[in-house]
Amino acid sequence: MTSTASAPVVRRASVLAIPLLGVLAAVQGSAPNIAATALVRASRGLDMVGGDQALAASMQTLAIAASVITTGLLADRIGRRRMLIAALVTGLVGQLIVASATVPLVYILGQAVSGVGLGAVYAAAFAYIQVLAAPGRLPAAVATFAACSGAAGVVFTFSGGMLAGVDWRLAFVLVPVLSALSIPAVLALLPAVPPSVTEKRDVWGQIALAAGMVIFLYGVSQLASSLTSPFTWGAMVLGLVLFGLFVWSQTRVAHPFFPVALFRRPLFLAALCAGFVFNVGGAVAFLQLSNLWQYVLGLAPSAVAVWQLPVSLTSIVGAVVLGRLMTRGMSPQTSLLVGGILSAAGFTVAFLVRDAASPLAFVPAGILVALGITAASLPYGTLVLSEAPAEFYGPVTSSRTTFGQLFYSLGTALSTVVVTQLTIAGITSRLSAAGMTDADVSSALASVGTYAKDGVRPDAQVFDAAVAAYRDGFGALMIGIAVVALVASIVGAALIRRAGRAARA
């Protein structure tokens, strides 16, 4: 994608350029982690309940999923470096809106603006890897990108957690500062990539995709409020219909913006399986461990950030080691299988220690999950880059982020729904068995909701029932996600093997 004249610039910049791309990815990657750590205090401060809290938890990733393919196309049209600058500014503004929010609607709006900007930051940074990687060194470049992203993400997430412990609003000032500092670094270290798209691309298909993503995931987020609401299920069905219109439009228009034929290619489907393990596993582990440590063990956000450090450091070491193994010949198939097995093992350990009274008991589970999702992330990146056609480079490389954030949103929303509903059912059954009337049980559930919102403990009997029910719900979720991660990795590995057989034939 670069001209001959710009090649020496790429070589001179490459030593620091790929680490910079990792830092830019960490700015985006740390933002939802910081938001997850600050969510308990933010929801209490802004009086969020039920669906508002679930939507607040997933809005940033929802906005990324809805917009990032379009911003990838825009990067092909205006140049990737210009897109990075515009995206950093947009993310900066969105986070400042969140920090200044006084009602849930403004908080959610700020997360939406942040998602559009920060999603474009990650997608443009990821697409740059192909430009900067030396011939035959793409796996190593992806590993360097992942390791630098992980290292910077540890620092950013830890700093955000510490700030959230002081005031949840301060946590959302960190990304604007990092974005402002990144702009001159982008201009200094990254080569300009000339535009590669001039003709108009299908607009209505982009609108159908964005609207479908938003409406579908909004319906998913409302499952926290009601599992039987026609509005909730209607939103999800409408979202799926719009997805179908998006796919249909790309096979009919003269200038499609996304090659939907990729969905028939085994390697691209395998990449999606790897992305599922990576994003759903990471979302569930990070959010639900953070919530359990705060709601059940009573840890402050700053203490949660400390306990997350061993898990985050494992991701960095894992990316370096696994990247070297892939460069030396380890196949994407093997990496994905290892990722699924380790992730499943980690979630199983979390199930086994669900009744522990110390956060230390959960650290081995977090480390196993971190190793597993890191092993899945490397084939996720390399397969998408290798499958991206030149004429659709921006949209296809950005689709890694689209599907990743779709999976991440599903992980956060559905895991919240599962734990919430199982906790409510568990509290009800325990208190009813103890002889409470239906009216007393309803009052007890309201007091548990007040505790989740304001931190005011209910009486000992109700609190003990709530803690026991929450731990059971957490454990059931861990077993379920262990099975799902293992199955997804096996399916992905089978698709890679199928593609290999076809290529040899």
DSSP label at residue 354: T
- What confidence category does residue 347 fall into, taking pLDDT thresholds of 50, 70 and 90? very high
Bigger pLDDT: 325 or 333?
Answer: 333
Quote the CA–CA distance of 73 and 201 in Å, as a whole number: 9
What mean pLDDT value characterizes the chain? 84
Could you tell me if 476 and 426 are in contact, meaning their C-beta atoms sit under 8 angstroms apart?
no
Quote the CA–CA distance of 26 and 20 in Å, as a whole number: 10
pLDDT at 491: 96
Q: What percent of the chain has pLDDT above 70? A: 93
DSSP label at residue 235: H
**CATH architecture for the domain at 7-189+257-424+472-504:** Up-down Bundle (1.20)
Q: What is the pLDDT of residues 272-314, one digit of tens each?
A: 999 999 999 988 998 899 889 888 888 877 788 788 778 877 8
DSSP string, 88-127: HHHHHHHHHHHHT-SSHHHHHHHHHHHHHHHHHHHHHHHH
Residue listed under structure tokens 């007040």? 450
Quote the CA–CA distance of 498 and 116 in Å, as a whole number: 36
Bigger pLDDT: 450 or 270?
Answer: 270
What are the φ and ψ backbone dihedral angles of 330, each rounded to 5 degrees? -65, 130
What are the φ and ψ backbone dihedral angles of 226, each rounded to 5 degrees? -160, 135
When pLDDT is averaged across residues 352-365 and rounded to a whole number, the result is 91
Quote the CA–CA distance of 366 and 376 in Å, as a whole number: 15
Lowest mean pLDDT among 69-73, 286-290, 310-314, 472-476: 310-314
pLDDT at 201: 76
- What confidence category does residue 79 fall into, taking pLDDT thresholds of 50, 70 and 90? confident
pLDDT at 197: 66
Measured from the Cβ of residue 367, the count of other Cβ atoms closer than 10 Å reads 20
Q: What is the pLDDT of residues 33-61, one digit of tens each?
A: 888 888 878 888 888 876 677 778 778 87
For the chain, which residues make up each domain, given as ranges?
Answer: 7-189+257-424+472-504, 203-256
